[in-house]
Structure 1
């Protein structure tokens, strides 16, 4: 049976934030249940001591329930979890009015409803440990970034849900941290379906900028490594932090813009970098 503190992390595919979080927690003496939709996506964690790889699809209630039973069995049968990290996420970078609504719904199923499902399932294991829930939101949830409307909306919903949860779970002894993640060298762009504008699209003048953002070429040169980011998030968690934390490159700038800058100034910056300026009359 596992006698160490434990953490369960969703979205631990190789090269991403979740994988680095798993390694950072493991290095701090925590037994990690690293999860992804398929074990084949987590080869970088295979064989690491105190890391148990599990298949978990956040969209599948039966998959979530099976992972929960595995954790219960591994922790003396009474079910104990010190840290739950909701990290799974997908992105869409495309004009809002030209995005297939089914794709937008699926994004919310992963980024928001998946978090709700996993949190509800594992909460009974966190309460006996006075555990901590860590929700990976995004600076997009504090801004309105052209071409990222549905991703940003899902992360804004996550932030509101997560901060409300922090208040509701405080009497139960469970902390909640909302990480407003900035630019990090994750795999989210590689895992994002590439979409192409129709010939009749309203947004053809901005096609180059849309494609550049969707590929990550615009932001990745300025991103923080997943290892550095993960170390800071794990330091927050083990240090007992809760509430909103801004982590990753440009996170502080996003905080400044979202709270202190006038709307017209943010609009000016976003219009100039998104390609929308090519469409202005």
Structure 2
């Protein structure tokens, strides 16, 4: 048992999840840091040691419903409470529907959407008891559909719809819900989605558009342009600690400007004008 607020975070082996686990522990949370593969826990353990904080590091595959239920049971037994959940686990994916299988699309939905639903569902009994909160890392890709991100954006749109719908229901039971929308963040995203490999769409009618998109994406995720995981983590921890957190928050001014184009674009023309430029081949 603990008097510190207990926080469960998914997807903490790197990036935003790792940075938030450390930042939240520094702010006094008792952090349960989970990841699908504990063989990747070395960086988190080193970061915790360097920061002088203690973490409860556990294996959790958010697509395994039995494992999710078992971890929430363990939390109840070990801590007697859960004050906050941060849904962070997810995976990027680049592709277009003609060039990928339905199994690939379903796999993207399984991790990025159904994983959020599964952990949220399992955590709600404890969060109702503590009158706690649910914070979920979405993306500006959950607001604006982006070329060659059909499956990924569909999953993030689903997350946004799920949580926007849940928010007033959960609030009636004392549970606060916040959606966090980062833009480009300087993590391992590019490597993890395989942009450095030869995409399947090369050698197809999609090649020119894809090359233009990849060039734009590489520039956006360049460390000099992208937001750092640590600055995203600071936003998340502020939300976790806030007495009245917002229902939705962007993590940078760039993310706010990008999301705003959708919110004022009733017929979709502005969004299409912006994203079409992303896939226009460069002039010779």
Q: 1:161 to 1:249 in 2, by over 3 A?
A: same
The aligned residue for residue 73 of structure 1 is: 77
Q: 1:201 to 1:9 in 2, by over 3 A?
A: same
In 1, the alpha carbon distance for the partners of 2:12 and 2:280 equals: 33
The aligned residue for residue 175 of structure 1 is: 176
- Name stretches of at least 5 consecutive residues in structure 1 with no aligned partner: none
3-state SS in 1 of match to 2:58: strand
Aligned length: 272
Aligned partner of 1:272 among 270, 273, 277: 277
Aligned pairs for 1:132-281 (under 5 A) are 132-193=133-194, 194=197, 196-198=199-201, 201-212=204-215, 216-221=217-222, 222-240=225-243, 241-248=245-252, 250-261=254-265, 263-275=268-280
The aligned residue for residue 99 of structure 1 is: 100
8 A contact 1:94–1:210 mirrored in 2: no
- CA drift of 1:267 comes to 2.0
The aligned residue for residue 9 of structure 1 is: 9
3-state SS in 2 of match to 1:217: helix
Q: 1:249 to 1:188 in 2, by over 3 A?
A: farther
In 2, the alpha carbon distance for the partners of 1:226 and 1:153 equals: 24
- CA drift of 1:149 comes to 1.1
The aligned residue for residue 40 of structure 1 is: 39
In 1, the alpha carbon distance for the partners of 2:114 and 2:281 equals: 31
- CA drift of 1:210 comes to 4.1
Aligned partner of 2:65 among 54, 61, 64: 61
In 1, the alpha carbon distance for the partners of 2:152 and 2:253 equals: 18
In 2, the alpha carbon distance for the partners of 1:249 and 1:272 equals: 21
In 1, the alpha carbon distance for the partners of 2:12 and 2:253 equals: 21
Q: 1:211 to 1:69 in 2, by over 3 A?
A: same
- Name stretches of at least 5 consecutive residues in structure 2 with no aligned partner: none
- CA drift of 1:266 comes to 2.7
In 2, the alpha carbon distance for the partners of 1:249 and 1:100 equals: 36
8 A contact 2:182–2:250 mirrored in 1: yes
- CA drift of 1:226 comes to 0.6
3-state SS in 1 of match to 2:153: helix
3-state SS in 2 of match to 1:172: coil
3-state SS in 1 of match to 2:258: helix
In 1, the alpha carbon distance for the partners of 2:252 and 2:98 equals: 30
3-state SS in 1 of match to 2:192: coil
In 2, the alpha carbon distance for the partners of 1:230 and 1:276 equals: 35
- CA drift of 1:195 comes to 5.6
8 A contact 1:223–1:248 mirrored in 2: no
8 A contact 1:30–1:50 mirrored in 2: no
In 1, the alpha carbon distance for the partners of 2:163 and 2:203 equals: 40
Q: Does residue 114 in structure 1 map to residue 118 in structure 2? A: no
- CA drift of 1:50 comes to 3.2
In 2, the alpha carbon distance for the partners of 1:184 and 1:41 equals: 20
8 A contact 2:12–2:18 mirrored in 1: yes
In 2, the alpha carbon distance for the partners of 1:57 and 1:249 equals: 33
CA deviations 1:15-49 (Å, max 9, x no partner) are x1100110111011001000001222222332553
Q: Does residue 30 in structure 1 map to residue 29 in structure 2? A: yes
